Amino acid sequence: MVARKATREVPAYREFLKTQGLEPKDVEEISWSQWDQLPITDKDTYIRKYPLEHRCLNGNLPMRGKIDESGGASGQPTEWVHSLEEEGPLLETIGLYRKIWWPDAREIILVNAFSCGPWSGGVTLTLLLRNDMLVKTVGTDIEGVLQTLRSFGTKYQYIISGYPLFLSEILKRDFPWNNYRIDLITGGDAHSIGWQQQVERQINGRVVSAYGASDINVGLGVQTPLTHAIRSALLHEEKLRHRLSWYGEAPMIFQYNPLNILVEQNERELVMTYLTPLKAHPIVRYNIHDEGKVFTYQELRALVVSQAPALKVLFEESHLRLPFLIVEGRSDGALSFDGANVQPNQIEDILSGVPEVNRFKMLRREIPPHFVILIEVEGASSVDESLREHLSQTLTKELARRNRDFAESLEVNPALVPHVILLRSQHPIFGMDDRKYRWVVKEEVLAQYSIPLPSP
């Protein structure tokens, strides 16, 4: 059991267990049926409390592998280490997904447009797929993507990888997209079915999403043809949508390899354990603070067929009987833009010094891409254009100063400049939440209240 290995070989995990009233012998005696007796870890209770070396096997960094970085949203990035040896199981899983979507990779060129600094996505994707196809890593360089397509011409099948909003920026360019065979790989941020279908029509290709995190690794879950079809069907299957989603929406749906990762559902949040004993930085019952649900293959099949019998054929056509992971988004209300998380408390802190401001909500618009902040203000301030401009400039400057990930993304994506909409005090959109205040609002809610969004 991975918990026993961590207890024996990871100094920080032993110390953490003691703070929870557990001794090493207690863990040795725990069986799989008692797994939930092990304490849940997360970034605050475990990662930030112990040095990186102490969280590694034998208290030492592996001397072969790579270091990733995350958490620039808090101002202080978190370091994550992965050994060369732990890439083996991940390569097998990624290879399986590649064969599902692109069984013949002999004439495929992957143009990797993910950010390629110390973050997990960009560099790791290149390392993992270079054995399966020809890869060119251009990073967040739109002209670099287009120049690659021009240089190699229409002979090849292309895959362009990147964050959803950045891919939208690429596809805005005047380019003969229909002359090329193009699919997209995206991750880092969620996206709507509407965005996916519009993009697929534009490129006459497919959008394949992946789920991962620097905390654990890339490729935790991948959208398969089956999950792609189920999610698309949710547009017209309201009953099923409410059974799959906490909020009655169309969540991201992935399949994952249970030999690599154990995923638990703790109330509404996802808790993960990386199962390979080769992992240099063991993760045991780690709460990633994403909201979601977990289903076995048979559980989801039964649920889908009971709510939407016409979808039974989707399972009959699929041969990949892996469990399912439903991902709703960050439980802390954060919005993700090109892999950069913007936390509500950051916005709240920036606006706290402005006396006219009461409450706010955030919106991540996909088509066309915009970062929108709705701000409740007193009296005539709601029509004060100078106040709106001041707040937009202040939010842009302060978010870039406090949040390094946001600053990096802002340099290449102008859609991240906050578009501020001022609303009068007591506007009903700020009183619509029935359970707890939700920082994020959906685009259709703005339409319901006739709130105009920025033009393309």
pLDDT 10s digits, 106-145: 789 999 998 877 666 678 888 888 888 999 999 989 999 9
pLDDT 10s digits, 145-166 = 999 999 999 999 999 999 887 8
Residue type, 93: T
pLDDT class for 38, splitting at 50, 70, 90? Answer: very high
CATH class held by domain 87-330: alpha beta
If one compares 330 and 416, the residue with the highest pLDDT of the two is 416
Average pLDDT over residues 34-39: 93
CATH homologous superfamily of domain 337-448?
ANL, C-terminal domain (3.30.300.30)
Span of 189-203, 275-289, 336-350 with lowest mean pLDDT: 336-350
pLDDT 10s digits, 292-306 = 999 999 999 999 999
pLDDT at position 31: 85
Return the closest-CA partner of residue 292 out of 246, 230, 240, 241. 246
Mean residue pLDDT of the chain comes to 88
If one compares 132 and 206, the residue with the highest pLDDT of the two is 206
Average pLDDT over residues 351-361: 85
pLDDT at position 176: 96
Average pLDDT over residues 65-72: 78
pLDDT exceeds cutoff 50 at 42:
yes
pLDDT class for 17, splitting at 50, 70, 90? Answer: very high
pLDDT at position 306: 93
pLDDT at position 366: 81
Packed helices 120-129 and 87-101: angle between N→C axes, nearest 10 degrees: 70
Q: Where are the domains of the chain?
A: 87-330, 337-448
pLDDT 10s digits, 248-263 = 778 899 999 999 999 9
pLDDT at position 71: 60
pLDDT at position 217: 80
Average pLDDT over residues 219-245: 91
End-to-end CA distance of the chain: 53
pLDDT at position 180: 97
pLDDT exceeds cutoff 80 at 409:
yes
pLDDT exceeds cutoff 50 at 435:
no
